[in-house]
Structure 1
Amino acid sequence: MSEKKARYLTTTLPYVNADPHVGFAAEVLNADALARYWRLIGHEVFFNTGTDEHGQKLADKADEKGQSRQDYVDHFANEFRKLGEALNLSYDRFIRTTDADHKIAAQAIWKKCLLNGDIYKKKYKGLYCVGDEMFLRDSDLVDGKCPNHPNMEPQMVEEENYFFALSKYQDYLKDYLSKEGVVEPEWRRLEALKFVEGGLEDFSISRERSRLDWGIDVPDDENQVMYVWFDALTNYISTLGWPEDKDGNFKKFWEEGETTQLAGKDQIRFQSIMWQAMLKSAGVKATDKVVYHGFITSGGQKMSKSLGNTLNPFDLVARYGTEATRYLLLRHVHPFEDSDITIERLDELYTAGLVNGLGNLVARVMKMAETHLDEPITRPEAVGFAKEYVEALDNFNIQAAVDYVWSKVGELDERIAETEPFKLVKTDKTAAIKIITDLVSDLYIVARMLHPFMPDTSRIIKEAILQNKKPENLFNRLEG
């Protein structure tokens, strides 16, 4: 067993009210690249993803379609599982919030927070956003609407619910968020800290069963079901077997390991504030780090079906293939800021980076190797990775790490152009063989660095080198 600290990594759980979109595909690919890299350097890793399957929106959608709630969420959960196959994800568990062990954990964390004096019942009246499934404060509104759902009219709701005493944790959260490194990038940490310093209000964590019957039962109150966020956030520890921890995964990966959550920039209030208060109340260690990414736009506009500019990750895989889709979303989607992508731009990047870039390099180097080397090169020692590559991944900047790999691809291309070993072999075979051998050796190092991002491509290149054979074309030119 590795002596390195175990690492736990999770995405958010997408809400299953629609097919998988490219934004989540980018998030889960970033997580997959990190998980593969950490395993590569000797960490034991638990990589979690899954689906969020309760709440008012899902109940309404199922009713609209005339389906049972379970059948409705089963369909979309299956679509997200298919995404995992399409993108070649290496997750350790795909958790669903309808899983039996998750329901037990959600009720357990409720009871712990209740025992700690942090859950109470009261009548409440306020504006409720069905899109976010949460009550809104006046300060949240923009022109009287939820900023995340400006086309959806907030509803005035009055009912008796359970509340979580978030305000009690103001000082704790201020201290937690004052530590550099608990949120990446740094400006998101300052954003979260500013939100806490502005004052925290207790938040509703249940709904009346008469209004919503699709959720986890509140312990000892048959008239209430859990609010979807309280339920869903618990997946980050229920996936590890909390609270019973029969397999020891919770102790290994959460209590004694290093924990990292990936989330969109609109999740700060939930992941770094509400969730951390819930953990503290339940006596569970805080998340070590939450990394927030931006949104993906297309043609300068937010993606929407009405504009016809949505990008379906399955369509991307059908067009470019799994490995190329991984490359495009890891290299050309910024890890922290918003990114704009279109099919036209992706086509250009595919051709430049893969067909004319990596694919062409591998073909040229391995053609020379197969023709002029008598046997495969000695496999390069598995030395450590370059400083720039390691620093980028340590800072969760996948894009910079992939950029570094492609800088090496460019350097090898330049070396071929400068030395022309395919010509030199006619006049100075010994010198040409040395150049070709070095090119193949450096290509092997490139292949090793590719593993977290393009695992199959990495394997194919390494196998070709060890067999001293030019592989089939790695990336075909696009048609039409």
Structure 2
Amino acid sequence: MEKEKYYITTAIAYTSAKPHIGNIYEIVLTDAIARFKRAQGYDVYFQTGTDEHGQKIEDYASKNNTQPKEYVDNIAGIIRGLFDLMNVSYDGFVRTTDVSHKEEVQKIFKKLFEQDDLYKGFYEGWYCKACESFYSDTQVTEEGICPECGAKITRQKEETYFFRMSKYQERLVKHIEENPNFIQPESRKNEMVQNFLKEPLYDLAVSRTSFKWGIPVDFDPEHVIYVWIDALTNYITGLGYDVDGNHAETFNHYWPADVHVIGKDILRFHTIYWPILLMALDVELPKQIFGHPWLLVGDGKMSKSKGNVLYVDDLAAVFGVDPVRYLMLHEMPYDRDGTLSYELMIERINTDLANITGNLVNRTISMVNKYFDGTITHNSSGADIDTELLTMTETLVSKVENKMKTLHVAQALDEVIKLFRRCNKYIDETEPWALAKNEDDAERLQTVLYNLLDAIRVGAIVLQSFIPETAEKILNQINVEDRQLDDAKGARSYPLNNKVVEKPDIIFHRLDVKETLEKFEPEEEIVGIEEVNEVNFEEFKKIEMVVAQVKKVEAHPNADKLYVLQLDAGNQDVQVVSGLVAHYSPEELLNKKVVLVKNLKPVKLRGVLSSGMVLAANDKENFELLFVDKIKNGTLIS
């Protein structure tokens, strides 16, 4: 029997900088859904990728003295590395710089123009570089401020191709009305209908002439194709869509998408622009677009300017990969923003993972070894006190399936924790240590431990979709070979005469709050000269200052305000991280000779080693490096 197909996508990640945990949340969420669908027996295709064109990329590359392709290659590698770190099981990874994607986008643009869906004109109005969006005067309530993100916006006028949105508006409204699950959650659908579709849609600018880093319009090369056609079409080009109808078998098999998983901030582009584009191409619409909420830190959205950005690799280095996956999946409600803080993360790991899950596995295996040499041989002495636990075990999969059907992932994961919490309560109720004191209770003790092992087995099989490494560890320790989701359904089936490991490994360690918080204390960013106390001459002589020449300037991969400088200090090269982005362009620094504190103790600044400091003067109104143009590299300053 042929498996039912299931095609799921994330929004493709923008290659402007290393993504924070809020960006990575989306792909881990989608990964959990894809894994669970595979476990249910679906033929799953899970696609993600990177969005690599646009003015911001061109500006970032210029700022970092590199070419756009070289810049996006680096960031795309970082993004893919983070996805792999978090054990994301994607099947397809699209880059919008892929030749196949670029060629198909050009053909799509030409088709739209030839069928009169596009026309050339001039755009004049507000433009937000941060959002890469145009806004009319009526949309901008505060002059010069983006209505979406709050960034500064500018007035622009340039020639562009426009997409006739209004031509398809009525058809889109009808589709939304006839397909109530097309936009989820319900609140997102209401927002789109009320805020955008009640009034006539503006025609959409879909090309640019003010920058060059994009896919050229092949019949009008002064224009590059804008993000709304370039990036959005990845969902079909990645499957092998061809505008002439010569589709790859992958496209014929998997399209339409079952669900696009996206952030709520790009919902308008996916629920209005994307469906209209597909209508114009005469391509079937996706079945559902799910706009997930934001993952917040403290009381606000993550932003580098706010200094509240969290990165998954930093968190995983302290907590481990699966605990970070668990935190992202469990702490995000279905239709409202979730909040993380270091304290909350530590508490959740200590309760749900260490106390409830890890402690249960450890206690159960230890008792099976202590009382029965690691093997349960009987399961024949039931009691009324067992009923609730047995029911929860037997119905776990159906409960999780019902939650996952509507993409309530956090609630699905919580069903497993509820079962494990009930197991711990069951241990307190049945008191195995008391049963072990009486030979007449030996079979009853075996039944109690069997019930626990089976509940752990079922829970761990379900957890494979959410925290796969942990699930594998648990199943290995209780020695379970049959790990399919179907093996966790219905009546008890933990195999009798199965030997658990002799000594269980600790699944999750409890975290000391103070020690763990100290690991996340921010390292001080060196910007210019810091205020110091008085020093005597002997102490001052310890400072080694030399003339050094800037040979290379790169953007810091994890901090917008920092450069990574490579300096020629005469007889050695020195790497320095310095907060000069706001004051100097890379071109203004390259080949300049500066004063380097050479023997400063090395320190990592946002994950990059800095082995010195360049001297500057800063009176709060002006900032200036100390340049030494005519002195030989390596000369000691005294």
Structure 2 length as normaliser, TM-score?
A: 0.71
Contact 2:21 2:312 in 1 (8 A): yes
| Aligned twin of 2:399 | 388
* Cα shift at 1:18: 1.6
* Residue 500 of structure 2 corresponds to residue 468 of structure 1: yes
Q: Who wins on radius of gyration, i.e. which is larger?
A: 2
State the partner residue of 1:477: 510
Size of the aligned set, in residue pairs, is: 473
Q: In the alignment, which residue of structure 1 is the partner of 2:148? A: 148
Partner of 1:418: 429
Among 408, 413, 424, which residue is 1:397 paired with?
408
- Aligned residues: CA RMSD: 2.0
Do 1:164 and 1:204's aligned partners in 2 also have CA atoms closer than 8 Å? yes
Asked whether the 8 Å contact 2:292–2:334 carries over to 1, the reply is yes
Q: 2:444 aligns with which of 431, 456, 469?
A: 431
State the distance in 1 between where 2:279 and 2:17 align.
33
Q: How does 1:190-209 map to 2 (within 5 A)?
A: 190-194=190-194, 195-208=196-209
- Paired letter, 1:396: L
Matches within 5 A, 1:86-165: 86-144=85-143, 145-152=145-152, 154-165=153-164
The residue number in structure 2 matching 1:77 is 76
Encode CA deviations 1:202-244: one digit per residue, 9 max, x unaligned.
Answer: 1000011xx2110001131111110122200011111111117
Are the aligned partners of 2:368 and 2:376 in contact in 1 as well (CA < 8 Å)?
no
Amino acid of the structure 1 residue aligned with 2:431? E
Q: Which letter does structure 2 place at the counterpart of 1:433?
A: Q
SS at match of 1:386: helix
1:134: how far off? 1.9
Query: Offset at 1:198?
Result: 2.0
The equivalent of 2:526 in structure 1 is: none
Kept after mapping to 2: 8 A contact 1:174/1:197: no
State whether residues 128 and 151 of structure 2, in contact with CA within 8 Å, keep that contact through their aligned partners in structure 1. Answer: no
Q: How do 1:343-354 and structure 2 match up within 5 A? A: 343-354=342-353
Q: Give per-residue Cα distances to partners, 1:238-269, cap 9 Å, x unaligned.
A: 111111766511111104xx521011111121
Distance 1:190 1:64 in 2: 41
Tell me whether 1:48 sits opposite 2:81 in the alignment.
no
Structure 2 residue aligned with 1:442: 455
- Indicate conservation of the 8 Å contact 1:22/1:311, yes or no: yes
User: Residue 361 of structure 1 contacts residue 409 of structure 1 at CA under 8 Å; is this kept in 2?
Assistant: yes
CA distance in 1, matches of 2:272, 2:422: 45
In structure 1, what is the equivalent of residue 418 of structure 2? Answer: 407
How far the C-alpha of 1:374 sits from its partner, in A, is 5.5
Tell me the CA shift for residue 11 of structure 1: 0.6
Q: What amino acid does structure 1 have at the position aligned with 2:282?
A: G
3-state SS in 2 of match to 1:139: coil
- 2:125–2:137: 8 Å Cα contact kept in structure 1? no
Partner in structure 2 of residue 264 of structure 1: 263
1:175 CA displacement: 0.9
Q: Distance in 1 between matches of 2:465 and 2:181?
A: 23
What aligned pairs does 1:317-336 form with structure 2 within 5 A after superposition?
A: 317-336=316-335
Q: CA deviation at 1:184?
A: 0.9
Q: Residues 423 and 133 from structure 1, CA distance in 2 versus in 1: closer, same or farther, beyond 3 angstroms?
A: same
Q: Is the 8 A contact 1:425 1:433 kept in 2?
A: no
Tell me, in whole angstroms, the C-alpha distance in 1 between the residues paired with 2:305 and 2:125. Answer: 31
Counterpart-to-counterpart distance in 2, 1:198 and 1:266: 20
Check conservation: 1:161, 1:204, Cα contact below 8 A: yes
How far off its partner does 1:370 sit?
Answer: 2.7
Q: Which amino acid aligns with 1:468?
A: V
Q: Which residue of 1 aligns with 2:60?
A: 61
1:239 matched residue in structure 2:
238
Counterpart position of 2:469: 456
Check the 8 A contact 1:183/1:189 in 2, yes or no.
Answer: yes
Match of 2:588 in 1: none
Letter in 1 for 2:508: F
User: Contact 2:420–2:455 (CA<8 Å) still a contact in 1?
Assistant: no
Change in 2 beyond 3 A, CA 1:259/1:132: same
What are the Cα deviations for residues 321-371 of structure 1, in whole angstroms up to 9, with x where unaligned? 111111111001223211221112111111111111211111011112233
Residues in 2 aligned to 1:201 and 1:376: alpha-carbon distance in whole angstroms: 70
Normalised to the residue count of structure 1, the TM-score between the two structures is: 0.94
Tell me how far apart the structure 1 counterparts of residues 303 and 131 of structure 2 sit (CA, whole Å). 17
Q: 1:333 to 1:259 in 2, by over 3 A?
A: same
Q: Distance in 1 between matches of 2:169 and 2:376?
A: 61
The DSSP-based 3-state class of the residue aligned with 2:258 is strand
Counterpart Cα distance in 1 of 2:14 and 2:185: 24
Offset from partner CA, 1:384-419 (integer Å, 9 cap, x none) = 853321111001010000111110011101100100
Please tell me the residue identity of whatever aligns with 1:471.
Answer: P
The residue identity in structure 1 corresponding to 2:325 is R
Letter in 2 for 1:143: E
Distance 1:368 1:73 in 2: 54
Aligned to 2:570: none
Cα contact 2:236–2:251 (8 A) shared by 1: yes
Greater Cα offset, 109-118 or 340-349: 109-118
Whether 1:310 and 2:323 are equivalent positions in the alignment is no
Per-residue deviation, residues 16-44 of structure 1 (Å, max 9, x unmatched): 11211111111111100000000000001
How much has 1:104 moved relative to structure 2? 1.8
How far residue 430 of structure 1 moved from its aligned partner, in angstroms, is: 1.0
Amino acid at match of 1:422: W
Contact 1:460 1:471 in 2 (8 A): no
Structure 1 unaligned runs (5+)? none
Alpha-carbon distance, 1:440 to partner:
0.3
- Equivalent-residue separation in structure 1 for 2:395 and 2:5 (angstroms): 19
Letter of the aligned partner of 2:295 in structure 1? I
8 Å CA contact 1:120, 1:162 repeated in 2: yes
- Distance in 1 of aligned mates of 2:304 and 2:202: 35
Shift of 1:133: 1.3
TM-aligned CA deviation for residue 302 of structure 1: 2.7
CA distance 1:111–1:439, change in 2 (3 Å): same
2: distance between equivalents of 1:205 and 1:72? 24
Deviations 1:370-389 (A, max 9, x none): 333456569x9x98853321
How far does residue 113 in structure 1 lie from its aligned partner after superposition?
2.1
Q: Which amino acid aligns with 2:197?
A: V
Counterparts of 2:271 and 2:332, CA distance in 1: 23
Unaligned runs of 5+ in 2: 378-389, 480-498, 516-638
Q: Distance in 1 between matches of 2:161 and 2:375?
A: 68
The corresponding residue for 2:366 is 367
Counterpart of 1:253 in structure 2 is 254
Is contact 2:12–2:51 with CA below 8 Å preserved after alignment? yes
SS at match of 2:291: strand
Q: Is residue 2:336 matched to residue 1:337?
A: yes
